[in-house]
Amino acid sequence: MIEAEARSGWRRLHPATPLLNLFGGGYVLLLFLAFAGSMFDGRIGAPLWPLVAIAVGAVVLAYLRFKYTVTDETLVITEGILFRRRRVIPRSRIQHIDLKAGVIQQLVGVAQARIETAGGRDAEATLRYVSKAEGLRLRDTLVKLPGTADAAEGATAPATVATQPQTEPPTFARRITPLELAVAGATSNRAGVLVGLLLGGDFLFDFMPTDWLLRRVIPPEYLETEAAVRALFESAQGDFRAFLIGAGILALVFGLLGWGLSVLLTVVRYFEFTLIAAGRELRVSYGLLTRRETGLRRSRVQNVLIEESILRRWLGLATLRVQTAGYGASVKSEEKMEILAPIARRDDLPEYLGAVFPDLDFSSVQWRRSHPRARRRLFVRRALVVIAASIGFWMLFTPWALLILLGLIPAWLLASLHYRHLGHARLGSYVLTREGLWNRRTYIVPLRKIQALHMRETPFQRRLGLGTVTIETAGSPFEWHAPRSIDLGRAYGLDLMEGLAADVRATGLSF
């Protein structure tokens, strides 16, 4: 071990690290106060300067103490000023590596490298910051399984395994163009949220030129109050046509803006998205302002999620994510799954999935629907809303509100439609589940990754003899975001669980 360490040599973080930490961390406030205090009155600033000196010293010392090295089998990190810490992370346990660089980091040419192993609350190790090239080297070496394909070569020159990553020819490579990303942004459900945010924000803070806009279409005497939306409601009492035109224009402007913003955000977020499958690894990189480079081992994928919003389903498009086991509670929930494709054509899905699960034949999947009584549950849930709304409005305003009850017809249609998207399937050594009408989520779980199976019954489900089977894998953050098959017949569901458990046992001890 010692020899191996000596051979590859200890490495330090990027020299810009102390500076970035000083201006990027909580120290910035201290620095600002010291400067501002001195400018204003020397007596205020003076006591702060020793603190600044201590902060600078601590940051520099932390940088000097932080060293790491990659050996044939481990990643070793030593750090700490007062409390020294030496961590040895076996390379075979590393789930994936994630490089992240914000705007400033990109300008300096550095990135933060996060190394994840299974379990644990935080990332197993974070290297803040390494140079871009060093980060890529780490990604390519650490994700590779030590001593498998490279064993023969490693025997003759072990040092090269650690320092020189052999890049295998990619078996699958995809680059997503900005145009495709624009389509992704235009079809994402986020557009609707943004419209809502813009409308609400403008109503509260009045940051959009709505007044100016409405002045063109609405008689000026209605526009004396400050907020345009409020003015619109007032004008409704006077001139109904003006109200309609105003409302239409407002909706159009806000809608287009929200839509445009969604497109812009998606393009910026996933700019130059590339996915490369080479050997047994997947490499993903994307982002304009915050650039991310991720490498993960294919065998570590716990499950794959295909997301199709209703708009995307019509257009034959989908989003793909993979779940790895390495994320703890401290990671933001939207980052808990790695993106595999921000947008993909449905026809390309088998190819994408083949890059992750080579033995999966996705095109031959045969869905088995949930129990027909599931439709009743889906209907009752919607019907209750309709009935409550009609009774409420009847009591409050007018008996005509009972016409809302006509909404029961679309409620039934929606329930039938929704029912068609519930289901599960067995396919070779995989199990698939799907649910959701507005945003359909399809999970693909390899049997060898199943950790536990649950059958849950709410009181309503129990009355209908139904239950939901949830499949647990490592790393799924929340139960309602886990692969599950909703509203199966109870007896059938229990049989399914037993059958899956038997198949899981057949895969033996694997984690």
Partner 1 sequence: MSPLDPNVVIAWRASGAIGAAAITAVIAALELILLLPQRIVVLAPGALTGMAAVFAFGLALLWPGLRYRFFGWQVSAEQVVIQKGVIWRSRSLIPRVRIQHVDTRTSPLQRWLGLSTLVIYTAGTHGSDAEIPGLAQDEAEHLREELAKLEELDDRG
Q: Note the residues at the interface with partner 1 (CB under 8 A).
A: 118-119, 325, 450-459, 462, 472-476, 494, 497-498, 501-502, 504-505, 507-511
Distance separating alpha carbons of residues 322 and 298, to the nearest angstrom: 10
Shortest separation between residue 337's beta carbon and partner 1, angstroms? 15
In this complex, which beta carbon is closest to partner 1, that of residue 238 or of residue 499? 499
In this complex, which beta carbon is closest to partner 1, that of residue 194 or of residue 453? 453
Closest by CA position to 96, among listed 451, 340, 288, 350? 340
Shortest separation between residue 455's beta carbon and partner 1, angstroms? 4
Phi/psi-derived region of residue 116, left when phi > 0, alpha when psi is between -120 and 50, beta in every other case: beta
Please report where in the chains the tokens 């994320």 appear, as a residue.
327
Distance separating alpha carbons of residues 198 and 203, to the nearest angstrom: 8
In this complex, which beta carbon is closest to partner 1, that of residue 83 or of residue 478? 478
Shortest separation between residue 379's beta carbon and partner 1, angstroms? 22
Distance separating alpha carbons of residues 484 and 470, to the nearest angstrom: 4
In this complex, which beta carbon is closest to partner 1, that of residue 52 or of residue 455? 455
In this complex, which beta carbon is closest to partner 1, that of residue 406 or of residue 452? 452
> Helix, strand or coil for residue 184?
helix
Strand partners, 285: 274, 293
In this complex, which beta carbon is closest to partner 1, that of residue 2 or of residue 502? 502
Q: Does residue 257 contact residue 198 with C-beta atoms inside 8 Å? A: yes
In this complex, which beta carbon is closest to partner 1, that of residue 313 or of residue 481? 481
Q: Does residue 450 contact residue 510 with C-beta atoms inside 8 Å? A: no
Please report where in the chains the tokens 């809303």 appear, as a residue.
385
Shortest separation between residue 505's beta carbon and partner 1, angstroms? 5
Beta carbons within 10 angstroms of residue 157's beta carbon:
10
Shortest separation between residue 9's beta carbon and partner 1, angstroms? 34
Sort strands 273-278 and 281-286 into parallel, antiparallel or unpaired.
antiparallel
What is the distance, to the nearest Å, from the Cα of residue 365 to the centroid of all Cα atoms in its chain?
26
In this complex, which beta carbon is closest to partner 1, that of residue 206 or of residue 503? 503
Shortest separation between residue 452's beta carbon and partner 1, angstroms? 5
Shortest separation between residue 500's beta carbon and partner 1, angstroms? 8
Shortest separation between residue 508's beta carbon and partner 1, angstroms? 5
DSSP assignment of 149-183 equals: TTHHHHHH-HHHHHHSPPPPPEEEEEEE-HHHHHH
Distance separating alpha carbons of residues 430 and 473, to the nearest angstrom: 13
Closest by CA position to 294, among listed 306, 277, 282? 282
Shortest separation between residue 152's beta carbon and partner 1, angstroms? 24
In this complex, which beta carbon is closest to partner 1, that of residue 107 or of residue 509? 509
Alpha helices in 46-174 (DSSP H): 48-65, 103-108, 132-142, 151-156, 158-163
Rg (CA), the chain: 28
